[in-house]
Amino acid sequence: MVFLRLILAFLIYNLSVFCSVPIYSDSSKISKEFLDIAKSPEIFDWMVSIRRKIHENPELGYEEFETSKLIRAELDKMGIKYRYPVAVTGIVGYIGSGEAPFVALRADMDALPMQELVEWEHKSKTRGKMHACGHDGHVAMLLGAARILQEHRQSLMGTIVLVFQPAEEGGGGASKILDSGILENVKGIFGLHVSSDLPIGKVSSRSGPLLAANGFFEAVISGKGGHAAIPHHSIDPILAASNIIVSLQHLVSREADPLDSQVVTVAKFQGGSAFNVIPDSVVIGGSFRTFSKETFAHLKQRIEEVIIGQAAVQRCNATVNFLEKDFCPPTVNDEALHKHFQNVAGDLLGISNVEDMKPLMGSEDFSVYQEAIPGYYYILGMKNETKGKFPSPHSPYFEINEDAFPFGAALQASLTASYLLEIQSENPQVKDDYHEEL
Q: Which residues are documented as binding site?
A: 133, 135, 169, 193, 394
**Would you call the peptide bond into 396 cis, given omega within 30 degrees of 0 as the criterion?**
no
Alpha-carbon distance values, 98 to 75, 102, 155 (Å): 16, 8, 13
Name the residue among 281, 293, 411 with its Cα closest to residue 341.
411
Identify the helix (H) or strand (E) that includes residue 332. strand 331-333
Coil/strand/helix, residue 49: helix
CA–CA separation, 421 and 156 (whole Å): 8
Long-range contacts of 153-156 (CB under 8 A, 24+ apart): 153/95, 153/96, 154/16, 154/21, 155/16, 155/21, 155/22, 155/23, 155/24, 155/417, 156/95, 156/96, 156/97, 156/417, 156/420
Question: Please, are residues 242 and 316 in contact by the beta-carbon 8 Å criterion?
Answer: no
Q: How far is CA 381 from CA 43, 161, 319, 363, 365, in A?
A: 20, 24, 43, 18, 20
Contacts of 246 (CB under 8 A, 6+ apart): none
Angle between helices 405-426 and 41-56 (to 10 degrees): 110
* Beta-bridge mates of residue 186: 102
CA distance 131 to 112: 6
Beta strand 213-222 with 317-322 is antiparallel
68-76 long-range contacts, Cβ below 8 Å, gap at least 24? 68/109, 68/164, 68/166, 71/109, 71/139, 71/143, 71/164, 74/50, 74/143, 75/143, 75/146, 75/162
CB count in 10 Å sphere of residue 201: 17
Binding site, annotated residues for Mn(2+) = 133, 135, 169, 193, 394
> How many Å apart are CA 91 and CA 412, to the nearest integer?
17
Residue 208 CB coordination number (10 Å): 13
In contact, 90 and 182? CB cutoff 8 Å: no
